Amino acid sequence: LAKAHGRGNYQFFTAELNRKAMRHLMLDTRLRKALEQEELQVFYQPQVNPSNGRIVGMEALVRWPYSPTEFISPAEFIPVAEEMGLIVPLGEWVLRTACIQTKIWQDAGLNLRVAVNLSAQQFRQQNLLEKIMMILSETGLSPDYLELELTESTFLEGAEAAISLMNKIKKLGINLSLDDFGTGYSSLSYLKRFPLDNLKIAQEFVRDLTTDPCDVAIAEAIISLARRLGLKIIAEGVETQEHLTFFQTHHCDLVQGYLFSRPLPALEFTELLKKNSS
């Protein structure tokens, strides 16, 4: 019986692996094509000052309209892009697109900061600094309107090199944020050693803030730690009025989440901005 059971499991397991591998391969092929043919899109989610509700910036989030009815989540295709070496051109395309759009809003009198996610692999490419400078000069966006979001996984290899690159990026006038703080390979020494400007409290600690005292403790500890270290605090995943009240009470610098808006295409984001500023 055990043997039959074991064998059955084995078959199930290979079928599952096979299915995953097939999907991976399929995604890789189609993602390459999507990137070449400029089928990807950048959506924007507002970052709001919790004390007055004003939109002060936005996070750029890539979208892949896979079919007329289906978007594939970046949570699925970013890891594929990372594995297939596509993340570098993809990330560069997102950065350029976000800078172009932010400059368009600026020229229309809307001064907003844009935050762009940078994967660990992008961060490790040799000519990152030159590429960023080139994109800024091509698009005419001033560096102080650009923010780059890094995750803790970026710091796993070669801390010294990472710190030195971060300092060079900051010298350009670009701000750096640590994304999803507390979920990765968190080490408090990162906060001390790395030249960061902002800390983004991971959604994971925000979700159950109103029901789970542990999450309250964690969120409060992160906020007070960040404040003592001179970092600005951005809360992500703010979905309810209760979440907002918590971050208002704790004088969080910025909030981001479905309570204000889901990530939107540029055109709809423009409409949201008009409403927000009137």
Neighbours of 67 (CB within 10 A): 7
Q: Is 147 in the site for ligand C2E (CB under 6 A)?
A: no
Neighbours of 84 (CB within 10 A): 17
CB of 116 to Mg ion, least distance (A): 8
Give residue 170's identity as a one-letter amino acid code: K
CB of 180 to Mg ion, least distance (A): 4
Q: Is 180 in the site for Mg ion (CB under 5 A)?
A: yes
Nearest to 199 by CA among 184, 215, 216: 184
Q: Is 147 in the site for Mg ion (CB under 5 A)?
A: no
How many residues at the interface with ligand C2E, by CB under 6 A? 22
Interface with ligand C2E by CB under 6 A: which range of 1-9, 22-30, 68-76, 99-107? 68-76
Q: Is 61 in the site for ligand C2E (CB under 6 A)?
A: yes
Interface with Mg ion by CB under 5 A: which range of 2-10, 153-161, 190-198, 232-240? 232-240
Give residue 110's identity as a one-letter amino acid code: L
Spatial distance between the Cα atoms of 59 and 147, rounded to a whole number of angstroms: 9
Q: Distances in Å between the alpha carbon of 39 and those of 1, 30, 62, 68, 85? A: 52, 10, 11, 12, 18
Judged by CB under 6 A, which of 46, 50, 57, 74 binds ligand C2E? 74
Residue with structure tokens 């809360």?
235
Residue list 206-235, contact with ligand C2E (CB under 6 A): none
Q: What size, in residues, is the chain?
A: 278
Judged by CB under 6 A, which of 14, 73, 111, 241 binds ligand C2E? 73
Q: Distances in Å between the alpha carbon of 134 and those of 1, 33, 128, 277? A: 65, 25, 10, 32
Q: Is 179 in the site for Mg ion (CB under 5 A)?
A: yes
- Which residues, at least 6 apart from 188, have a Cβ–Cβ distance to it below 8 Å? 225
Q: Is 57 in the site for ligand C2E (CB under 6 A)?
A: no
Judged by CB under 6 A, which of 31, 34, 55, 78 binds ligand C2E? 78
Q: What is the contact surface with ligand C2E in residues (CB under 6 A)?
A: 45, 61-62, 73-75, 78, 91, 94, 117, 119, 149, 179-180, 203, 236-239, 257-258, 263
Q: What is the contact surface with Mg ion in residues (CB under 5 A)?
A: 117, 149, 179-180, 236
